[in-house]
Structure 1
Amino acid sequence: MHGEYKVPGGKLVVVDVEIDDGGRLKDVRVSGDFFLEPDDAIERIDAALEGAPSDTDTAGLKARVEGALPPSAVLFGFTAESVAIAVRRALAQATDWSDYDWQLIHEPPQPPALHMALDEVITAEVAAGRRPPTLRVWQWDSPAVVIGSFQSLRNEVDPEGAERHGVTVVRRISGGGAMFVEPKSTITYSLSVPEAMVSGLSFADSYAYLDDWVLGALGDMGIRAWYQPLNDIATEVGKVAGAAQKRMVGPDGGAGAVLHHVTMSYDIDADKMTEVLRIGREKLSDKGTKSAKKRVDPLRRQTGLPREAVIERMIESFRSRYGLSEGRLTPEETARAQELVRTKFASEEWTARVP
């Protein structure tokens, strides 16, 4: 069995392993493009994992690796935990980015409720095996507030402010916090991927794993960015993006798919945002800031590029790493999404399901 794990902002860890008749690890070989001292520490890591029960969790495998390393050991670009994660991914027969033929969907501007529906439909199609893993870049046709699946509508949105600014309120299928968007103020994208891609990863690790490509894309534009647990992407000047996920089961309860979507701040009108969203002082103070303007840092000032150029560079960065063919929504997918808008995402029952 073969497993790989790219450390967010770090190096690649690779594990090749077999399981003996007693259900224990054997012939363990750890490799990668990381740095490690002393030289024989790699052999100590292999030996520490040899004979471990195959059901040992990440914490247990991490403890074995740490216990085998001398105090003088230096691990650069990886950690004992990343080795453990690579082992778990090997045992789970996890897949990697390069195992798939990725498809891009980049449609003209669409209504907020339709975007919510498309996320559900596309991810369900990936789970059913009828669609390849998909990167969808959103374009908004009107301003909106998107609240998390479990947020209280009245606690998050000021209805008078929303009405005054012509803002539509929609609820997505994933958890997390509210976001304020205008057609040219944010960059939003979704990844719909087979569940096998995150096999062996904890929920938190899957965020970092699926965010890693965009850290590289930002780096290509001269922005040093990093994953900030649980679901943020940050730079030296503050948060620039927030992510959310939803796991969906496959047909008949089989292997499913993961929806991972991200909204990045390009040039948000923070004053308008505070009139529409009920952003409490406690939430802002938790981020170490005193105003919403400081908390939402626009990419426009950091890149110096038009929004469309940032999007194009992100797409090209993804394509250069993993390949990406142009795709479109099928008529069936569009029809199903429109029906979901009518029956779910544009309904008061769904939007106010947590009043």
Structure 2
Amino acid sequence: MHGEFKVPGGKLVVVDLDSTDGRISGFRLAGDFFVEPDEAIPAIEAAVDGLPVDADAATLARTIRDALPDGAVLLGFSPEAIATTIRRALAKATSFADYDWQLVRGPALEPLQQMAVDQVLSEEVGEGRRGPTLRVWQWSSPAVVIGSFQSVKNEVDLGNAEKYGFEVVRRISGGGAMFIEPESAITYSLYAPIDLVQGMSFADSYAFLDDWVIQALRGLGIDATYQPLNDIASPAGKIGGAAQKRLGSGAVLHHVIMAYDMDGARMAEVLRIGREKLSDKGIASAAKRVDPLKSQTGLSRDEIIERLIATFGAQTSLTESALTDAELARAQALVSEKFSTPEWLQRVP
């Protein structure tokens, strides 16, 4: 069995192993990381050999850490990264390059349609009717998109939302509220088979699925980093945030919104961002927490999107695609049956 895991912001970890009578055997560790002393590698390999194949990541990491020689230094990886890689090998996890990815650009959709398309494409990929897909959203109107478990009245000033023409909708993933002005946001979704994140915790999978966009932003001259659990940031402030949903159909939905430009004053009027949420940020307002891509790059929104797509395409097999008539019809049905209903929007009043 073979497993690989690129540590976000770090190095590649590669493992090969066998399974004998329910236990790991023939374990070998490699990668482009740094380690001192050299003897740490055979010590790790000896400690992993003989462990049960169903050992969880925490047990694996603890065993590896206990086996390290005194004073050992691991650079670009960690015992936890090795444990994740082992679990991915045992689960026969896949990588981005194992798939032929499809690219969907637009069309411009209403907020309720966006929510429904996310569910439809996730289900289509999970059922094998569509290949793994990157969708770049285009918005037809302003919106506030709240997370699956957020309270409407706690998150949104409904009076100001109506005043300024922002439709309030609820998505299927968790996380925080998204403030959308059509030309001021860059939004994308990844729809992938669950095998892509096999062996990873939710926290690990966020970093893994965002790594390519971090690379793209760095290519634009932005000192972008991943900030657990789900933020993309630079020294100047937050750039964007991610949310994720794993569906029973066998798919993972991972979507991200990044601020291209932003009316911070308007956002503060529409969203109720309380002091408790900002208390650990060392700042007085949500607007000061966000640093849009326009101010950092000077590039147009379309230019940044093209650079993002080019980075993804350089790492994968990526071909142009489009929403099918059947997918659009199913999405429209979901708008009526689910996403536009009070039962869905007000599930947490």
TM-score, normalised with respect to structure 2: 0.98
1:10 aligned residue: 10
1:64 aligned residue: 63
Matched residue SS, 1:82? helix
Residue 111 of structure 2 corresponds to residue 112 of structure 1: yes
Residue deviations 1:195-252 (CA, integer Å, cap 9, x gap): 11111111111111111111111111111222111111111112111111111112xx
- 230-239 or 162-171, which deviates more: 230-239
> Following superposition of structure 1 onto structure 2, how do residues 95-134 of structure 1 map, counting pairs within 5 Å?
95-134=94-133
1:212 aligned residue: 211
Q: Distance in 2 between matches of 1:28 and 1:234?
A: 37
Give the RMSD, CA atoms, in angstroms: 1.1
> Following superposition of structure 1 onto structure 2, how do residues 1-355 of structure 1 map, counting pairs within 5 Å?
1-21=1-21, 23-250=22-249, 256-355=250-349
Q: Distance in 2 between matches of 1:287 and 1:333?
A: 41
Q: Which runs of 4+ in 1 moved over 6 A?
A: none
Residue deviations 1:303-345 (CA, integer Å, cap 9, x gap): 1211111110000000001121101111110100011112211
Matched residue SS, 2:244? strand
Residue deviations 1:40-82 (CA, integer Å, cap 9, x gap): 3222221111111111111111122112222232211111110
The one-letter code of the counterpart of 1:292 is A
Q: Which has the higher strand share?
A: 2
Q: Distance in 1 between matches of 2:281 and 2:321?
A: 39
Alpha carbons 2:104, 2:323 under 8 Å: kept:
yes
The one-letter code of the counterpart of 2:325 is P
Alpha carbons 2:268, 2:287 under 8 Å: kept:
no
Alpha carbons 2:267, 2:287 under 8 Å: kept:
no
Q: Distance in 1 between matches of 2:62 and 2:151?
A: 41
Pairwise CA distance, 1:264: 0.5
Aligned residues: 349
Q: Distance in 2 between matches of 1:140 and 1:286?
A: 32
Matched residue SS, 1:102? strand
- 32-41 or 88-97, which deviates more: 32-41
Structure 1 residues without counterparts, runs of 5 or longer = 251-255
Q: Distance in 1 between matches of 2:89 and 2:334?
A: 38
The one-letter code of the counterpart of 2:317 is G
The one-letter code of the counterpart of 1:282 is E
Q: Distance in 2 between matches of 1:149 and 1:293?
A: 23
The one-letter code of the counterpart of 1:85 is T
Q: Distance in 2 between matches of 1:286 and 1:54?
A: 40
Percent of paired sites with the same residue: 62
Residue deviations 1:110-158 (CA, integer Å, cap 9, x gap): 1111110000000000100111111100011111000011111111111
